[in-house]
Structure 1
Amino acid sequence: MIFLTSNFDSSILIFIFITVAIVLIFISYYFGSKQKVLRTLSKLQDKRIMSLKSNEFSRVTGKALHVKTPLLAPYSKRKCIFYSIKIEQKKSSGKNKYWRTIIKEEKAQEFFLEKNGDFVIVKPNQNPKNYLSHLVVDKKTNSGTFKDPTPKFETLLNHYNIKSEGFFGFNKTLRYSEAVIEIGEQITVAGIAKWKSLKEAIDGYSYSKIVELESSDKQKLIITDLPNIKSKKRL
């Protein structure tokens, strides 16, 4: 009888463990940046810029263009208006292995969004952060015990004061990921539309007013380069 009870208790514990693991995975997925961005954008219809109404939370898909000198992505050196990078090191704790984030860096600057010759302006701010974003990772590199970092990766690691070797001269197991919004890339932005007088002329733009997509206390800007975003809302 004691043996049966012990097996029964073990089965319950295993069931609880599996259930909790599934719930945590679901929560991580559902509340991740990608799904939060997609859920918000799916409620909005993509609009023409000249049809945007003041104070309305609106979605626009167009070409990202720089307002000032573009940023340079740390690894690929691509000109961009937004980049997000991460450097991780593989660590061990007993029998468990995990990835520890060493560097996580994100930079965004003011940019234009051009669609059919019309423009909106977007001003992401990082302190305080006024946007929610998800960028597609499109550059990766890594190093390990039997794989030296490339000269390009070594230069990047040096820039962030990260040594590629450990105490005994063995390579650390490191990985790098980079996501950017390049100049001219097709992206989607959502924000509260505000029409404003244009202080300086924009080449190829003949109007005296321009719309800015802004955030509010309750609604952040949404910025993503995810392709083919579907909308559940009909016109």
Structure 2
Amino acid sequence: MILVSVLSITPIPFIVISGLILFVFLVYYFSKKQIILRKLSKTRHRAISSLKANEFVKVHGKALHVKDPLIAPLSKRKCVFYTMRIEKKVSSGKSSYWKTIVDEEKTQDFFLEHNGSYVIIRPKSSPKNYKSFLVKDKKANSGVFNDPTSEFKELLRTYNIDSEGFFGLNKRLRYEEGIIEIGEKLTVAGIAKWKILNEPIPEYAYSKIVELISNEKEKIIITDHPNALKESRIRL
């Protein structure tokens, strides 16, 4: 009788635990980072100097600005691409969660250079022609017993966010920022096309340059994740 009772109860925790494991795996597997890394792992890698027209490929190189670079909101680093998010802890009944109050992404045209060869990348937000994942390497937070830094306070004021709530207590806020810094190594995938170069590049004597573009089936892919830089060999 006791054995029957145990057997009838044990499957329930097992099913719950299995369900949680499956849920965690699916969240990880279908995360933006993993989708992009899987796509890049299946994409042919070519050296910039050997790109062929109309081929969807990935290239590695360092980012260089075409015009005056962007300035990252909190770290104030010069960059060609940044993404940032500000979240606030919100209570709802007996539970609480992080609510996004600012979600911002800015890009500009940039060059990718490797061993003296260049490609140009032109990310567009409307309509969006790229997919991206940037490593979040700058963070800040505040709470009841955790005062925000002066830099974080200044940033919050820029977005008209009050860092204090009732009775002057600090709000529970957090910030994360990812950028493509000038000179940073990254991976970009796209369809290679020859274009007329309107902006001169120092030490680059040609009037045409390869651009990595998108089409209806393939978006430009941009990431600075170090795993995307790993290659067993370069395909030429």
Q: Same fold judged by TM-score > 0.5? A: yes
Alignment map for 1:1-235 (pairs within 5 Å): 11-228=10-227, 229-231=229-231, 235=235
Distance 2:15 2:91 in 1: 26
CA contact (8 A) 2:88 2:101 kept: yes
Contact 1:42 1:230 in 2 (8 A): no
Q: Is the 8 A contact 1:44 1:231 kept in 2?
A: no
Q: 2:73–2:155: 8 Å Cα contact kept in structure 1?
A: yes
* Distance change >3 Å, CA 45–CA 218, structure 1 → 2: closer
Segment drifting more, 202-211 vs 138-147: 202-211
For these two proteins, the number of residue pairs brought into alignment is 234
Question: 1:9 and 1:125, CA in 2 relative to 1: closer, same or farther beyond 3 A?
Answer: farther
Compute the displacement of 1:200 (Å). Answer: 4.4
Tell me if the contact between 2:47 and 2:234 (Cα under 8 Å) persists in the aligned partners.
no
Contact 1:76 1:139 in 2 (8 A): yes
**Structure 2 unmatched runs, 5+:** none
> Unaligned stretches of 5+ in structure 1?
none
Distance apart, 1:95 and its partner CA = 3.5
Please report the TM-score for the alignment, with normalisation by the length of structure 2.
0.90
Q: Which amino acid aligns with 1:230?
A: K
- Identity among equivalent pairs (%): 59
Q: Classify the secondary structure of the residue corresponding to 2:136.
A: coil
* Alpha-carbon offset, residue 232 of structure 1: 6.6
Cα RMSD for the two superposed structures: 2.2
- Contact kept, 8 Å, 1:43 with 1:231, in 2: the verdict is no
1:8 to partner: Cα distance:
6.6
C-alpha displacement at 1:50, in angstroms? Answer: 2.2
Kindly provide the amino acid, as one letter, of the partner of residue 84 in structure 1.
T
Query: Cα deviation per residue 1:82-136 (whole Å; 9 max; x = unaligned)?
Result: 0011111222334433222111111111111111111100011112211111111
> How many Å separate the matches in 2 of 1:188 and 1:126?
19
CA gap of 1:132–1:9, structure 2 versus 1, over 3 A, is: farther
Deviation readout 1:197-233 (Å, 9 max, x if unpaired): 3344322111232000001111111101112533478
CA displacement at 1:18 relative to structure 2: 2.8
- Distance in 2, Cα, partners of 1:58 & 1:39: 14
TM-score normalised by length of structure 1: 0.90
Contact 1:86–1:176 (CA under 8 A) maintained in structure 2? yes
Give the whole-Å Cα distance in 2 for the aligned partners of 1:88 and 1:192.
36
Is 1:45–1:233's contact at 8 Å kept on the other side of the alignment? no
Q: CA deviation digits over 1:159-181, x for unaligned, max 9?
A: 11111111232111111111111
Amino acid at match of 2:230: K
Structure 2 CA distance for partners of 1:25 and 1:118, relative to 1, 3 Å = same
Contact residue 141 and residue 176 of structure 1 kept, 8 A: yes
